[in-house]
Structure 1
């Protein structure tokens, strides 16, 4: 689902609760399949793997698709907007510098869903990681290089 001009409404009512796990989706600008470019995808993946990207949170699982990124994030003592913003800003900086890209890398906002305490976090991670299979990008998840989970 592409974010519209009313996407700022996604932020209305957003609550960041320490210890809570959030399913997050960040979409590229105009849904450009920016991460079909292997160099851009590797940059975004390396940044996601760095512990310095998540100083106040834990990225439990993530998958990078051609035009969006999904993350399962457990918050620490920083709000979700700052946590996700740090990742998006780091990716944007490197890609823009390397490609001399002028347009934004990401849409301004992101979508999130707080998992309820009784939700199965590993089931949410399996769903997130299976995204390349559902999209028909690969036949086996092991063939897709741009994902990870802390349980591996």
Structure 2
């Protein structure tokens, strides 16, 4: 019944990460020109961004061209315990390198705003590469509507921590 299914070899099993954060990276590709919808959660989903100064620091980092070098930030929203963003790679750097720079640079600024030290972000992040048939503006609207769906605002204009290039 399973005669036509190849059995994995011990070498292929040892080369393929199967658990934890490494498993999340299986198949992750950084394609120049491709847009990615990302979710970056705070460590243990701590609602750090309920603190106004911390949310301001996170928002400023999403606009910082040094922290987003290699990508164009199209839309973002800072929620109490995570950030959603839509960015488009320009081919200079990999998605992983951009996220690492953004997380480390923003962690320093957010910690400074909170008067604390220690990790801000969860090690992992979720990414969704938009397919050709997915509309960038529709995805951006979905991202900036997160505070409405979460009950934090009645309309997007009532929530201070979001932006999109189509304004």
SS in structure 2 at match of 1:23: strand
Map 1:3-152; keep pairs closer than 5 Å: 6-77=20-91, 78-152=93-167
Q: Name the structure, 1 or 2, with higher relative contact order (CA <8 Å, separation 6+).
A: 1
- Per-residue CA distance 1:17-51 (angstroms, 9 max, x = gap): 00000000000000000000001000011111222
**How many pairs align?**
148
State the SS of the aligned residue for 2:66. Answer: helix
CA distance in 1, matches of 2:27, 2:50: 34
Q: How does the TM-score come out when normalised to structure 2?
A: 0.84
In structure 1, C-alpha distance between the alignment counterparts of 2:110 and 2:148, rounded to whole Å: 26
Contiguous gaps of at least 5 residues in structure 2: 1-18
Q: State the superposition RMSD in angstroms.
A: 1.4
Distance in 1 (CA, whole Å) between partners of 2:113 and 2:81 is: 18
Q: Which structure 1 residue ranges, 5 or more long, are not aligned?
A: none
Distance 2:54 2:113 in 1: 9
**Length-normalised TM-score, structure 1:** 0.91
Distance 2:159 2:112 in 1: 26
In structure 2, C-alpha distance between the alignment counterparts of 1:37 and 1:53, rounded to whole Å: 22
Q: Which moved more, 1:66-75 or 1:6-15?
A: 6-15
1:63-118, Cα deviation, whole Å (9 max, x unpaired): 01000001101001211011122111111012223435343100012110100012
